Amino acid sequence: MAVVTRAVKGTHDLFREDLAYHRTLLNAARRWLEAAGADEIATPIFEFSEVFERGVGASSDIVQKEMFTFTDRGGRALALRPEGTAGVVRAYLEHGMKVWPQPVRLWYAGPMFRAERPQKGRQRQFHQFGYEVLGAGEPELDAEAVALSYWILRGVGLNRLSLKVGSVGDREDRERYNAYLRELLTPHTARLSEDSQRRLETNPMRILDSKAEPDRKLLEELKVRPMLDFLGPEAKAHFEAVQERLRRLNVPYEIDPTIVRGLDYYARTAWELHHELLGAQSALGGGGRYDGLAELLGGPPVPGVGWAVGVERTVLAMKAEGLSPAPEPPLDLYIVALAAELVPEALRAASRFWPELRVQYGVKPRKPGKALQEAERKGARFAGLLGPDEAASGRLTVKHLRTGEQRTLDIEEVKEWVRGGGS
Ligand code: AMP
């Protein structure tokens, strides 16, 4: 029989230190986002493929090349979610959140799936947390969203961040820009990568995001004008208002006139957060305004703005800056039976501390010296010894491992001593 002891390429088990980093980030996200009035939402990890085809955009790389799709037994086309926004907007529409006081602020965290070539910072299953503000279009909301994405990352200690803000304008602005790009690039079609030749047909703006060498070279030679030059008066005023709010909030940003995000639904504000020590895959997260998305899904117009941060990528950045995860609380007490027939009693004793205190017991009997060693190795603050006398009297002999002080006490007294930290 084949041995199945390896996870699928591009997927990873998370435990101990890595999970501690994840938890540190998610706790920071929860703290900031709930402080700002967001409700948590958990949408399914698969949806009808159409949610992403229409939401993320049929011309995006994600839908064209990176979705894990499958057909269920009823013949329905489903996909593992490659990102969180389309599902959140689908849920907003499905549950009539339009009648809630607007705007509705939602945050989420969970695994996302993209069939990309696995490499450092690029996985097939990865994790994101994100924030979406739906139902209002004021520039304060763009600035709030940008600022929160920045502050959460600063809040876990990251210093080497750069925040790039731009605007992709309104639909007519993008149409004018795409027409300009088509005219400029069509005479050079043969020099474009295969992907970009396709993009020239479907959505020329995507070409600006291309990492392919021939595309990069051509774009440089042609001195392509940036999207920002094509903003109409309304998008321009909105972009200026967002920047004014960011300055008011003391959020340091640079304008990136070339920003075009990899998802088709963005309109007006778009931003990315990069880390200076990460090299090629330096984007920790990004976001933007997506006022047209709800309509693409078949709903009424609902303005929205939001972002997502990649957890694994951010953990790489934390490690690059020498940041540690928040420490886990230590084991309070480790209980050891001094004879085999007392092990069941060790289990019972441990259970009396749960869930207030963190208590483990050994399933093998040990001599007292060995028991204390084992407790030390577990990182416990106290060791509890359970011999025949203790079992008969319902007590425990407890040693405070730092001070060496030892007492024989009943369970309630042990609780008090351990909770008091051993003083
Ligand atoms: P996007 O939805 O493409 O804007 O991605 C937002 C963030 O998610 C990126 O900046 C990355 O931090 C992270 N991310 C996207 N794709 C992957 C992937 N395949 N593996 C790991 N992280 C990813």
pLDDT in tens, 302-338: 999 999 999 999 999 999 999 999 998 999 999 999 9
CA within 13 Å, CB half, 414: 33
Residue to mutate, 18, 60, 126, 275, ligand 1, most ligand atoms under 8 Å from C-beta: 126
Q: Which residue has its alpha carbon closest to ligand 1 atom 10?
A: 285
Instruction: Tell me, in angstroms, the distance from the centre of ligand 1 to residue 11's CA.
Output: 14
The pLDDT value recorded for residue 263 is: 65
**Can you read off the two tokens belonging to residue 334?**
């480790």
Which residues are known binding-site members for L-histidine?
Answer: 83-85, 114, 128, 132, 261, 265-266
Q: Is 123 in the pocket of ligand 1 (CB under 6 A)?
A: yes
Q: Is the CB of 66 under 6 A from ligand 1?
A: no
Give the number of the atom of ligand 1 that is nearest the alpha carbon of residue 82. Answer: 2
Q: Is the peptide bond before 355 cis (omega within 30 degrees of 0)?
A: yes
pLDDT confidence bin for 206, thresholds 50/70/90: confident
Beta carbon of 284 within 6 Å of any ligand 1 atom: yes
Of ligand 1's listed atoms, the one at least distance from the Cα of 309 is: 7
Q: Confirm or reject: Cβ of 287 under 6 Å from ligand 1.
A: no
Percent of the chain's residues with pLDDT above 70: 99
Centroid of ligand 1 to alpha carbon of 105 (angstroms):
22
Q: Which atom of ligand 1 is nearest to the CA of 128?
A: 8
Q: How far is the CA of 43 from the CAs of 8, 46, 84, 130, 155, in angstroms?
A: 24, 9, 8, 12, 26
Atom 8 (ligand 1) nearest CA: 310
How far, in Å, CA of 242 to CA of 251, rounded?
A: 11
Does 312 sit in the ligand 1 pocket, CB within 6 Å? yes
- Tens digits of residue pLDDT in 373-403: 999 999 999 999 999 999 999 999 999 999 9
Alpha-carbon gap, residue 251 to 82, rounded angstroms = 29
Phi, psi of 76, deg, nearest 5: -80, 140
Q: Locate tokens 């003083």: which residue?
A: 423
283 Cβ closer than 6 Å to some ligand 1 atom: yes
Closest residue by CA, ligand 1 atom 2: 83
Which residue shows structure tokens 């101990």? Answer: 16
| Ligand 1 atom with least separation from CA of 273 | 10
pLDDT of residue 414 exceeding 70, the answer is yes
Distance CA 152, CA 157 (A): 9
215 C-alpha vs ligand 1 centroid, how far in Å? 22
Distance CA 104, CA 38 (A): 8
Tokens of 122: 């690029």
Q: Enumerate residues 6+ apart whose C-beta is below 8 A from 218.
A: 185, 188, 191, 192
- C-alpha dihedral, 285 to 291 to 295 to 300, nearest 10°: 130
**Does the pLDDT at position 60 exceed 90?**
no
- φ/ψ of residue 257, rounded to 5: -70, -10
Element (H, E) at 363: none
pLDDT for 1 equals 67
Q: Whose CA is nearest to atom 21 of ligand 1?
A: 122
Among the residues of 36-170, which ranges form H helices? Answer: 49-55, 61, 85-94, 139-155
Indicate the range of 278-292, 343-357, 358-372, 392-406 predicted with least confidence. 278-292
For residue 238, what are the contacts with CB-CB under 8 A and spacing of at least 6? 139, 142, 167, 268, 269
Report the DSSP pairing between strands 333-337 and 359-361: parallel
pLDDT at residue 261 greater than cutoff 80: no
Burial status of residue 369 (CB atoms within 10 A of its CB: 0-12, 13-18, 19 or more)? exposed
Mean model confidence pLDDT for the chain: 95
User: Coil, strand, or helix at residue 327?
Assistant: coil
Between the CA of 310 and the centroid of ligand 1 the distance, in Å, is: 5
Task: Check if 308 has its Cβ closer than 6 Å to any atom of ligand 1.
Answer: yes
In tens, the pLDDT along 69-102 reads 999 999 999 999 999 999 999 999 999 999 999 9
Nearest Cα residue to atom 18 of ligand 1: 122
Does the pLDDT of residue 43 top 90, yes or no? yes
Query: For ligand 1, is residue 81 a contact (CB within 6 Å)?
Result: no
Using a 6 Å cutoff on CB, does residue 84 contact ligand 1? no
> What is the distance between the alpha carbons of residues 237 and 226, in angstroms, rounded to a whole number?
17
- Ligand 1 pocket, residue 332 CB under 6 Å: no
Distance (Å, whole) CA 195 – CA 178: 16
Domains of the chain listed by start with CATH number:
16-170+232-320 (3.30.930.10), 333-419 (3.40.50.800)
Beta bridge partners of 78: 48, 70
What confidence category does residue 55 fall into, taking pLDDT thresholds of 50, 70 and 90? Answer: confident
pLDDT number for residue 4: 86
Which ligand 1 atom lies nearest to the CA of residue 122?
20
The residue contributing the CA closest to ligand 1 atom 5 is 285
- Residue 134 CA to residue 388 CA, distance in Å, equals 64
Three-state secondary-structure class, residue 23: helix
* CB-CB contact of 269 with 147 (8 Å): no
10 lines ligand 1 (CB under 6 A): no
What's the CA-to-centroid distance between 322 and ligand 1, angstroms? Answer: 22
Residue nearest to atom 3 of ligand 1 (CA): 262
Q: Is the pLDDT of residue 262 over 70?
A: no
